[in-house]
C-alpha cells in the first residue's frame, strides 16, 4: 500500500502541470457549459449497464475511446456526472484493458475529481481517469468504469402500508453524459422483477423481461442528456446505516476488541398507518414484504466474545455461525423495521491479535483491518473508524487506499494514566466496495505492556504491607489493662 501512494504522487504532480494549462483554455468554454474536448479524444462506442436490483445503484460503463490522429498525447480521460449524481456517488473505479486477447489484463487506474467546469451550478462535474500510459494519437483503448450511487431511488408513493410493496423511481439519462463526442452508445437497465410500472421511451427502446434497453444511439454531441424515468418494484430492504462508529482497541496481551455502534434506518419511504402484528405473523410473505427482519454481519474467522446489544440491554435474537474461513453473525433488530423506523444497536467482538497485528520490516508494528461496514448490502452515510492504539505507542500513521478525513485523539480506558493514542478516520457514503484492508503503523515498546500489571501488583503489595504494619503497631494512646 505504501508503494501505491508513492507511485500516485508523481503522477498527480505530472497532471497538475497539464491541468493548469488546460484551465486557461477551458475557462472561456465554461460559460456555454459545453466543454470542447481539449484533446482529440472521442468515444467510439459506449455501453452503460445500470443495475437497479439492489438498494444501491451500480453502473458499469464500457468505453472505447480513441485519440484523434492529429491531437497530442492524452494522459487522461474525463467522466461526467450530474451534480446530484456526484452527491450520491460513493465509489468510482476504472480499469483499462491492456494487451491483446489472451494476454489481456485489466489494469486499475486512479481517478480524481477534476476541477474543470465546476463553476456553473448545473454543469456536469468531471472526474479524470488517469491513464497509466498516455494514449498516443490515433490509438484506441477500452476503459471499464464502475460507479455506485446511493440514495438514488426515490419511492413513489412515498408512504405505503404494511402489506403493499415498494415502488421506486430511478432517474437517469438515456444517452451517456460525456464531455466527448459519442459515436455509438447503448444503455441497459436491469430491474429486480418483471413488475415495471412505467419507463420513459426514447426510441429505440425495447423491454425484455426485467431489462430495458435504450439505444443504440449514434453520434451524440458532447454533454447531451435525455432524461428518463423508470418506475418499478424494489422490495429489497433499504437498510441505511446513518452513522457507524467502529472502535478498534488493540491490546498487546493478545486481543483486539472491536465495538461497532450502528444507527440504522429503514430508509426512504415512510410507513403509513397501522402496524398489525397479526398480519405480519400470519402472512409474512405478503405483509411487510419490504420490511426486514434480519441482517447478516460478516466477521473475520476466529472471532470470540461476540455481543449484540443496545442502550437498554442485550438483544436476544442473534445467531453466530463460525468456520475456519469466516464468521457470520445473523442479527435481528428488536422489532421488524418498516419504512422510516429507526433502530440503534451495538455489536462487539474480540479477535486474536496475531491475525491482525504484524511487525513491519522497519521494526514498526501495524494493524491490518478491513475498512468498511461488515453488514452486507448496506450503505453507511457516515463512517468513523477509531483505532485505539495501546498506551505508550508513538507516531501513528494510517494508510488507507482512498481519501478519508483523519485526525488524532486520546482516549482513556481501564488503568490508563497517559491515555491511548487514537487514530480517527472518517468517510461518508460508504458501500460494500469500501471493505478493503487498511493499515495503521505505529511504534510500540513492549515494556509498556507491563505497566498496568505492575501497577496492580504494587497496589496489592501496598495493601498487604499496610495490613502487616497495622497488625504490628499499637496506636492506642493509653494502654488498656
Partner 1 sequence: MAPPALDSLPAPLRSLRLKTKQQELLLRVSALALIYVLAFAVRLFSVLRYESMIHEFDPYFNYRTTLFLTENGFSEFWNWFDSESWYPLGRVVGGTLFPGLMVTAALLHRLLRALSLAVHIREVCVLTAPFFAANTTLVAYAFGREIWDSGAGLVAAALIAIVPGYISRSVAGSYDNEGVAIFALLLTFYLFVRAVNTGSLAWALASAFGYFYMVSAWGGYVFIINLIPLYVLVLLVTGRYSQRLYVAYNCMYVLGMLLAMQIRFVGFQHVQSGEHMAAMGVFFLLQVFFFLDWVQYLLNDARLFKSFLRITLTCVITVGALALGIGTASGYISPWTGRFYSLLDPTYAKDHIPIIASVSEHQPTAWSSFMFDFHILLFLFPAGLYFCFKRLSDATIFIVMYGLTSMYFAGVMVRLILVAAPAVCLISAIAASATIKNLTTLIRTKSRSPQTTSGKTTGSKAAAKGAVDQSLPFQHNAAIALLLGAFYLLSRYAIHCTWVTSEAYSSPSIVLAARGHNGGRVIFDDYREAYYWLRQNTPPDAKIMSWWDYGYQITAMGNRTVIVDNNTWNNTHIATVGRAMSSYEDEAYEIMQSLDVNYVLVVFGGVTGYSSDDINKFLWMVRIGGGVFPVIKEPDYLVNGEYRIDKGAAPKMLNCLMYKLCYYRFGELTTEYGKPPGYDRVRGVEIGNKDIKLEYLEEAFTTSNWIVRIYKVKPPKNRS
Identity of the residue, 335 or 402, whose beta carbon is nearer to partner 1 in the bound complex: 335
363 lines the binding site for partner 1 (CB under 8 A):
no
Class of residue 270 by CB neighbours under 10 A (exposed 0-12, middle 13-18, buried 19+):
middle
β-strand 57-67 against 105-113: which pairing, if any? unpaired
Binding letters toward partner 1, positions 413-452, x by CB under 8 A = xxxxx-----------------------------------
Q: Please, which residues bridge with residue 260 across strands?
A: 246, 347
**Is the separation of the CB atoms in 438 and 426 below 8 Å?**
no
Classified as helix, coil or strand, 216 is strand
3-state secondary structure at position 456: helix
Residue numbers 233-272 binding partner 1 by CB under 8 A: none
Q: Within 13 A of 103's CA, how many CA atoms are on the CB side?
A: 3
Strand intervals (E) in 1-139: 41-51, 57-67, 74-81, 89-98, 105-113, 125-135
Give me the DSSP letters along 373-431.
-SBTT-EEEEEEEEEEPPTT-EEEEEE-SS--EEEEEEE--TT-SS-EEEEEEEEEEE-
The yes or no reply on residue 461 touching partner 1 (CB under 8 A) is no
- Single out the residue of 164, 242, 310, 328 in contact with partner 1 (rule: CB under 8 A): 310
Shortest spacing between CB 331 and partner 1, in angstroms: 14
Stretch that binds partner 1, among 53-61, 118-126, 166-174, 276-284 (CB under 8 A): 276-284
Distance CA 356, CA 361 (A): 16
Segment 377 to 416, residues that bind partner 1, using CB under 8 A: 412-416
401 vs 174: CA distance, rounded Å: 33
Q: How far is the CB of 472 from partner 1 (least distance, A)?
A: 8
Stretch that binds partner 1, among 172-180, 284-292, 334-342, 349-357 (CB under 8 A): 334-342
Q: Which stretch binds partner 1 (CB under 8 A): 27-35, 231-239, 283-291, 465-473?
A: 465-473
Give the nearer residue to partner 1 in terms of CB position, either 141 or 422.
Answer: 422
Which range of residues in 149-157, 178-186, 210-218, 314-322 is near partner 1 by CB under 8 A? 314-322
Considering only residues 53, 161, 344, 435, which one is a binding residue for partner 1 as defined by CB under 8 A?
Answer: 344
What is residue 177's DSSP assignment?
A: P
Out of 14, 104, 304, 334, name the contact with partner 1 by CB under 8 A.
Answer: 334
Q: Which residues bind partner 1 (CB under 8 A)?
A: 273-278, 282, 310-317, 334-335, 340-344, 412-417, 464, 467-468, 471
Amino acid at each position: 500500500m505504501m508503494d501505491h501512494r508513492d507511485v500516485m504522487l508523481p503522477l498527480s504532480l505530472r497532471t497538475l502541470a497539464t491541468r493548469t494549462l488546460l484551465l486557461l483554455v477551458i475557462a472561456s468554454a465554461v460559460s456555454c457549459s459545453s466543454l470542447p474536448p481539449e484533446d482529440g479524444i472521442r468515444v467510439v462506442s459506449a455501453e452503460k449497464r445500470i443495475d437497479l436490483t439492489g438498494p444501491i445503484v451500480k453502473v458499469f460503463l464500457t468505453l472505447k475511446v480513441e485519440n484523434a490522429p492529429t491531437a497530442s498525447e492524452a494522459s487522461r480521460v474525463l467522466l461526467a456526472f450530474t451534480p446530484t449524481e456526484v452527491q450520491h456517488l460513493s465509489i468510482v473505479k476504472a480499469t483499462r484493458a491492456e494487451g491483446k486477447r489472451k494476454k489481456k489484463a485489466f489494469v486499475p487506474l486512479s481517478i480524481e475529481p477534476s476541477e474543470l467546469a465546476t463553476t456553473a451550478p448545473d454543469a456536469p462535474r468531471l472526474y479524470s481517469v488517469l491513464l497509466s500510459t498516455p494514449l498516443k494519437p490515433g490509438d484506441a483503448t477500452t476503459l471499464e468504469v464502475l460507479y455506485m450511487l446511493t440514495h438514488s431511488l426515490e419511492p413513489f408513493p412515498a408512504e405505503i402500508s404494511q402489506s403493499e410493496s415498494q415502488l421506486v423511481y430511478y432517474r437517469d439519462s438515456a444517452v451517456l453524459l460525456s464531455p466527448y463526442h459519442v459515436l455509438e452508445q447503448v444503455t441497459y437497465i436491469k430491474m429486480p422483477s418483471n413488475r415495471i410500472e412505467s419507463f420513459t421511451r426514447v426510441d429505440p427502446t425495447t423491454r425484455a423481461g426485467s431489462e430495458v434497453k435504450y439505444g443504440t444511439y449514434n453520434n451524440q454531441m458532447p454533454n447531451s442528456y435525455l432524461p428518463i424515468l423508470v418506475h418499478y418494484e424494489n422490495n429489497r430492504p433499504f437498510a441505511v446505516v446513518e452513522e457507524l462508529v467502529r472502535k478498534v482497541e488493540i491490546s498487546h496481551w493478545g486481543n483486539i476488541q472491536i465495538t461497532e455502534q450502528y444507527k440504522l434506518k429503514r430508509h426512504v419511504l415512510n410507513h403509513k398507518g397501522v402496524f398489525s402484528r397479526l398480519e405480519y405473523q400470519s402472512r409474512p410473505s405478503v405483509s411487510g414484504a419490504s420490511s426486514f427482519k434480519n441482517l447478516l454481519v460478516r466477521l473475520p474467522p476466529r472471532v470470540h466474545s461476540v455481543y449484540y446489544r443496545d442502550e437498554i440491554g442485550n438483544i436476544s435474537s442473534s445467531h453466530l455461525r463460525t468456520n475456519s474461513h469466516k464468521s457470520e453473525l445473523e442479527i435481528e433488530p428488536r422489532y421488524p423495521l418498516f419504512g422510516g423506523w429507526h433502530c440503534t444497536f451495538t455489536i462487539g467482538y474480540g479477535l486474536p491479535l496475531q491475525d491482525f497485528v504484524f511487525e513491519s520490516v522497519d521494526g514498526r508494528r501495524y494493524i491490518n483491518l478491513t475498512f468498511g461496514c461488515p453488514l452486507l448490502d448496506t450503505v453507511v452515510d457516515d463512517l468513523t473508524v477509531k483505532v485505539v492504539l495501546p498506551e505508550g505507542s508513538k507516531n501513528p500513521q494510517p494508510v488507507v487506499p482512498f481519501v478519508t478525513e483523519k485526525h488524532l485523539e486520546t482516549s482513556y480506558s481501564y488503568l490508563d494514566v497517559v491515555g491511548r493514542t487514537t487514530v480517527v478516520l472518517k468517510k461518508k457514503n460508504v458501500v460494500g466496495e469500501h471493505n478493503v484492508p487498511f493499515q495503521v503503523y505505529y511504534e510500540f515498546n513492549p515494556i509498556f505492556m507491563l505497566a498496568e500489571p505492575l501497577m496492580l501488583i504494587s497496589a496489592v503489595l501496598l495493601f498487604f504491607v499496610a495490613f502487616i504494619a497495622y497488625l504490628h503497631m499499637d496506636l492506642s494512646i493509653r494502654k488498656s489493662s
